[in-house]
């Protein structure tokens, strides 16, 4: 029930459309009932089954007055113009009533469109915004393909569920209640009998659809696995081919695809069973009511006439379609509820990086950065142990060590991609957790080992993150400082050339120089270089090193690197081993310790170069 209410809560911002939807549905149902109710009394008068009403009834607020008035009007037409004219009149009236019924039916669906599309838009927006707000640690346990499924397929299932909810909440109950009211007016006893018989069929259908929600949840999860494999395969196609691993990937994909096929087939079989089962049960109910009511009429022990019984069955037949649609609605809602739960898992995921309500603003960096007794654990694994580092403004700090030593973690803690477990990181005397997160990150520029570029133009990739309009001259100057202007000028459309997915149309060195140009344009006070040259060839490295030299001028810089050329001019080098600082000093002072880790790293690098 909670999940069902969450769907309805999404409709609240569109309640004005929902009210019109309710009104038009009500009018459509009323005109549908009127069109049927007109037939029975007209036939009894036209075929002399009832005496003509010669006296106009006295006005009163009752259904009886409305019926008698209708009898009187038809009687007057028959008396003054004959039965053929009366037949023509009733045909015209029925046509107009059906026109109005369908007009209001269209208007009800017309007002439904902004609701269904608006809720999907809002849900997708909220989900995307939440994904961008979640800390990096959240994505370590999640598959990208599964998140994509929640953003697309699950959201689409919710749209279908919204339609079903609105129909269940508004149209179908209104139709059934209105028609049951008319039936109760004709024969209370027969209507009570219908109340006993109808729930039995609903119970049977409900039992069959009980597991659909679980099946739908499993199907969406398998689809997420499939998308993850597709994404990994497209990203790593070069490696897959290089290791002749096509068969392995095909087997992985085939296994998940087959599992999804089995679940989806089972689920669809259950869903498709609803329509024929509902139709069969409806006919059974009709036959039971027909037999029970027919016996009453034939016995003569009831005030129910044959004409009234025919009208009763005619109205009852119109209840069957809404009742039958409840089965499809039930299945759609079950699928939607499964998707809502999957989406809700993301929307309610805790955001570990929280900004204080009274966060301080910071616009410039003036003094120093200090890692003070910093400890950090990821889940139950301790990554950093008692880190103490001071980095004065304008100085260069280099972090070195073997893979997994904790170098990148120290850097990632500074822009609060993660928060320290204990201790603190201090900028200009204030713990960074007390600063406004946006202000804090505005102080920093980041260049990573893998260039992060977007499927957009060169210009937009360099200007990425700048909220204000950026002049072309500023972008060109940043590109020149990053040694990127020459190759950009040779592209087919220059700065307006689309670089493809992740910049695949460019070489590794060109991609890295674009990310450096982006950092230069941002003009950050603090620069983080995370092994920015480790994956480049010698020629590309020289160009990138020159660009980095331009970028590092007059900036406070944190360098994470394996290559000696990047760190030998650092003001302080911190050597890490298993999350602990084991050596620190300048390049020359560290080389004096012949047994030190740094000296071994340098010797190993020279050995590789030789």
Backbone angles phi, psi at 375, to 5 degrees: -125, 145
For 428-506, list the strands marked E by DSSP: 430-431, 444-447
Whether 547 contacts 463, CB under 8 Å = no
> Does residue 610 register a pLDDT over 50?
no
Is residue 585 classed as helix, strand or coil in its secondary structure?
strand
Q: How confident is the model at residue 273 (pLDDT cuts 50, 70, 90)?
A: low
Tell me what pLDDT residue 555 has.
85
> Does residue 379 register a pLDDT over 80?
no
Sign of CA dihedral 359, 364, 367, 371: positive
Count of Cβ atoms closer than 10 Å to residue 299 Cβ = 8
Q: Mean pLDDT across the stretch 228-245? A: 68
Higher pLDDT, 211 or 543: 543
Is residue 422 classed as helix, strand or coil in its secondary structure?
strand
Tell me what pLDDT residue 368 has.
93
> Does residue 17 register a pLDDT over 90?
no
In order of 112, 296, 353, 422, the CA distances from 437 in angstroms are: 40, 78, 9, 19
- Helix 306-347 to helix 155-166 angle (10° resolution) is 150
Is residue 455 classed as helix, strand or coil in its secondary structure?
coil
Residue that is written with structure tokens 């209104």 in the block: 174
- Cα 82 to Cα 24: distance, rounded to the nearest angstrom: 36
Tell me what pLDDT residue 428 has.
93
Whether 350 contacts 172, CB under 8 Å = no
| pTM confidence score | 0.68
For 256-268, the pLDDT digits (tens) are 888 877 877 776 6
Could you write out the DSSP letters of every residue in 325-388?
A: HHHHHHHHHHHHHHHHHHHHHHHTS--SS---TTPBP-----SEEEEEEEEEEETTEEEEEEEE
Domain 358-443+525-610 has CATH 3.40.50.10470: no
Give the lowest-confidence range in 283-292, 340-349, 454-463, 515-524: 283-292
Whether 590 contacts 598, CB under 8 Å = yes
Angle at 326 between CA 322 and CA 327, to 5 degrees: 130
Tell me what pLDDT residue 369 has.
94
Question: Can you give the length of the chain in residues?
Answer: 610
The rounded Cα 18 to chain-centroid distance in angstroms is 22
- Cα 77 to Cα 233: distance, rounded to the nearest angstrom: 78
Phi-psi region of 388 (alpha: psi -120 to 50; beta: other; left: phi over 0): beta
Count of Cβ atoms closer than 10 Å to residue 267 Cβ = 21
For 491-538, list the strands marked E by DSSP: 526-530
For 121-144, the pLDDT digits (tens) are 888 888 888 888 887 777 777 777
Mean pLDDT of the chain: 78
Tell me what pLDDT residue 595 has.
80
Angle at 86 between CA 80 and CA 87, to 5 degrees: 155
Whether 78 contacts 52, CB under 8 Å = yes
> Does residue 606 register a pLDDT over 60?
no
Which residues have a Cβ under 8 Å from the Cβ of 166 and sit 6 or more positions away? 11, 18, 21, 112, 115
Tell me what pLDDT residue 149 has.
80
Hey, where are the domains in the chain?
2-13+113-347, 358-443+525-610, 456-523
Higher pLDDT, 209 or 379: 379
Q: Mean pLDDT across the stretch 282-287? A: 75
Tell me what pLDDT residue 215 has.
63
Higher pLDDT, 544 or 445: 445
> Does residue 567 register a pLDDT over 70?
yes
> Diameter of the chain by CA atoms?
123
Q: Mean pLDDT across the stretch 447-473? A: 82
Tell me what pLDDT residue 608 has.
46
Domain 2-13+113-347 has CATH 3.10.620.30: no
Of 470, 520, 466, whose CA–CA distance to 495 is shortest?
470
Higher pLDDT, 227 or 402: 402
Report the share of the chain in percent with pLDDT over 70: 76
């Amino acid at each position: 029930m909670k999940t069902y209410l969450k769907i309805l809560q999404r409709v609240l911002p569109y309640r004005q459309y929902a009210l019109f939807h309710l009104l038009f549905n009500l009018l459509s149902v009323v005109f549908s009932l009127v069109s049927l109710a007109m037939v029975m009394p007209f036939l009894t008068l036209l075929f002399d089954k009832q005496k003509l009403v010669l006296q106009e009834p006295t006005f009163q607020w009752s259904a009886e007055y409305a019926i008698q008035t209708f009898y009187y009007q038809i009687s007057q037409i028959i008396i003054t113009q004959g039965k053929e004219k009366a037949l023509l009149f009733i045909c015209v009236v029925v046509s107009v009533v059906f026109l109005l019924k369908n007009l209001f039916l269209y208007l009800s669906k017309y007002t439904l469109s902004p609701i269904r599309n608006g809720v999907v838009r809002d849900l997708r927006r909220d989900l995307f915004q939440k994904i961008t707000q979640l800390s990096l640690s959240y994505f370590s346990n999640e598959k990208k393909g599964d998140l994509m499924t929640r953003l697309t397929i699950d959201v689409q299932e919710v749209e279908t569920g919204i339609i079903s909810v609105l129909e269940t909440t508004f149209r179908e109950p209104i139709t059934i209640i209105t028609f049951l009211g008319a039936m109760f007016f004709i024969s209370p006893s027969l209507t009570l009998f219908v109340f006993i018989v109808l729930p039995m069929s609903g119970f049977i259908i409900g039992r069959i659809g009980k597991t659909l929600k679980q099946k739908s949840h499993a199907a969406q999860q398998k689809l997420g696995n499939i998308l993850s494999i597709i994404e990994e395969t497209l990203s790593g196609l070069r490696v897959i081919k290089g290791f002749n691993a096509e068969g392995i990937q095909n087997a992985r994909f085939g296994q998940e695809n087959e599992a999804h096929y089995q679940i989806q087939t089972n689920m669809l079989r259950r869903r498709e069973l609803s329509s024929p089962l509902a139709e069969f049960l409806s006919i059974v109910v009709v036959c039971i009511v027909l037999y029970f009511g027919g016996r009453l009429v034939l016995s003569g022990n009831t005030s129910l006439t044959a004409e009234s019984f025919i009208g009763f069955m005619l109205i009852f037949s119109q209840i069957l379609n809404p009742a039958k649609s409840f089965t499809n609605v039930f299945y759609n809602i079950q699928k939607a509820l499964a998707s809502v739960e999957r989406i809700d898992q993301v929307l309610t995921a805790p955001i570990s990086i929280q900004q204080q309500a009274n966060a301080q603003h910071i616009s410039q960096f003036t003094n120093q950065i200090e890692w003070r007794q910093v400890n950090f654990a990821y889940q139950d694994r301790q990554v950093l142990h008692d880190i103490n580092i001071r980095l004065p403004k304008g100085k260069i700090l280099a972090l070195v060590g073997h893979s997994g030593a904790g170098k990148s973690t120290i850097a990632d803690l500074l822009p609060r991609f993660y928060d320290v477990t204990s201790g603190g990181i201090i900028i200009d005397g204030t713990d960074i957790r007390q600063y406004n997160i946006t202000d804090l990150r505005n102080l920093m520029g980041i260049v990573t080992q893998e260039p992060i570029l977007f499927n957009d133009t060169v210009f937009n990739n360099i200007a990425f993150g700048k909220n204000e309009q950026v002049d072309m001259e500023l972008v060109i100057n940043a590109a020149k400082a990053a040694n990127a202007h020459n190759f950009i000028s040779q592209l087919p459309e220059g700065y307006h050339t689309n670089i493809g997915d992740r910049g695949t149309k460019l070489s590794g060195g060109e991609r890295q120089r674009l990310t450096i140009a982006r950092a230069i344009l941002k003009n950050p006070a603090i620069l983080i270089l995370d092994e920015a040259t480790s994956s480049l060839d010698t020629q590309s490295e020289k160009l990138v090193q020159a660009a980095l030299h331009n970028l590092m001028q007059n900036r406070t810089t944190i360098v994470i690197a394996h290559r000696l050329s990047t760190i030998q001019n650092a003001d302080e080098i911190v050597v890490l081993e298993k999350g602990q600082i084991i050596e620190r000093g300048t390049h020359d002072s560290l080389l004096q310790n012949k047994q030190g880790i740094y000296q071994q790293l340098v010797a190993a690098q020279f050995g590789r170069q030789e």
